Chains A and B, each alone.
Chain A
């Protein structure tokens, strides 16, 4: 579907990304289907955001993402209350706010959609953190359902063959697990098709993100945080390929007609870490007021960063490395190399790092990355102390002041 360019009602209207409506439609349909799984007789699996979802699609299981749900909780500013509830249940305030809000939402059916559909089983992949394992253990006990842990050894310096073999064996253990819980055979032919669609969607998603290499950028990282939803939840399906084809066409059309995310883009910034879900609008506007666009981020590219390692002709085998070596499952030194690469690729004038209390694997090491950026690229770095969902720890006035001071430095560097 080509984007229809209507006569813009206003400058603001012209800047709005039209595909948003379609995205909302797909996500609404997806959640309705997931909530109605009991009636339709489909199985529901809860799975971590970095987990291997493609085999679930093959088995016609509806994948549900507690992390995505927690992000919605954050975006609707319901995080503080749910985190508070988890703390009353005995969970420390220092624990991940995705986990706290999800655990509390499961007990109370709280949150913006009245809780997630109960899972038939859980799939936990620790390529994003060790927290998900503890979180999923708690949920497996609460719902009394089976838990499959897909264990992807961390790569400090290399991904050795013994780790590769261990992960490869688990792919078949995973399939055997699915055959048991679903009560039928795994369709390897269908896996070929799902794998092909997954790779295609990831390439399209990366192409969407790449459009921001253009000056001015047709979209910002804040837009990417929103459009990310589908590549996380439903990759391996046709609808995702269609959606990102549409979004890519829209972005290219915006580039062609000079429509930018930020009206007078003068400064281009890179975002590191998860979004501050309850403050995306405020952050976006605060930076835009400085003529700054966050053109790229280390977070949304995690769902396409390994696409060159995936192979359509042998998807299952290529999953071994594809899933094991994603951005968060590698060393600080390697993450620093990626960040430097992104600074160059997108022509960033500065980097904004969200030091996220909730996410230790993402945040511990940021100070070293900050020093490496300053040494290797000599661009200013702003460190924001916040949390992705728990709005109780966010200080708008303090962070606003720091953004102003940071932008002062970016401005003087650029003009100097």
Chain B
């Protein structure tokens, strides 16, 4: 029988107006991977922040390694051996792995110099113990996201962590990288380390976790062994809805055979010789491994990157792509993958973000280009209502919204004007199940009078919502699969197909 590592009893935390955690119990044994799941706002991050010493609990007790502890500041959590590894892995990009791992510890010295040999030796000892394999001497900016996670984990081990908290580790990973990470996590757990695993991706929880705790509205609604539950049950527990169809059904109205976008022999720096058509009322998926060139291709079509050769026709008229502004005018928009980085001006309000690309349609005088603020408010309010964006006010800076609501604002920006082609790059990364199905429903609505391209690394997602799937590998289009021929094997084969 494995020993209890962490026990939380009756944890409660109230914020003004909200009970973020209400009498929550939680246990974690040594060598156990426990998934912590729930919708945005369920209380996961509040609980983690209390463990990390960032928030103070109102009541309840935390018992760690058999002793009652009081974590009143982050340094205390570190001292106890609790390590928190976050989505945006915090590493210094131009330091290599060894330097990053040692950061925060006293570098060993040899006379007037750092003792680099000893630094490397100690890190090597750790990597051997965990059987991690990657280049320790490269700047971490050149490592894959998966390897950055390994560096962060090593850093945790360096401080002798007994408990790891991983927050959405797979959000930016390809399926292959996820598999590697999981192999590594299983090794870690054999060393008796306990892991709290937070993720929105239910499929992988069944692969990696031993047990699951589900939170909803600040309360614990379930504590199960992994083999006692299935996905449907979990979704039901999280959302409270009976049976939530993951991919909402699309009303097949008019299926046009009209080509709205035709790309011919397009080549750029990261992709070669791409040909495809997009029909009106069609959702075309773009699947591939990270680095296959999908994002680069889409950014070129949107005017953000250089195109070397090739031809693009929009509604049978050839267009020359100059810049995003011109593409927006002609009716092509791109909803970027990283919404905080490329989709939103975080300090600006919901209304200002929504109106940002549309200001030229909201001016009072074409000479002064002065903004009609009442129109801006009205249009923003309509979009907020239509997309069910949860925000206290229209002027609320978007940085205070949850991931799902931020994504709705990014999409909402583009609903104001006439658009014939919507390109979504990873539309559901990092947002919860409920918001996800809302995004899918929205895409389904859009396709009623436009063409939609969805770039995604989530195979289930493209298979669930697309009419056809284009697969890319290493900068080339390796195939386009029709809905009737969809199969995981077939698509993965195309994605892994070796091209020169």
Q: Do A and B come from one complex?
A: no
Interface of B toward A, CB cutoff 8 Å: none
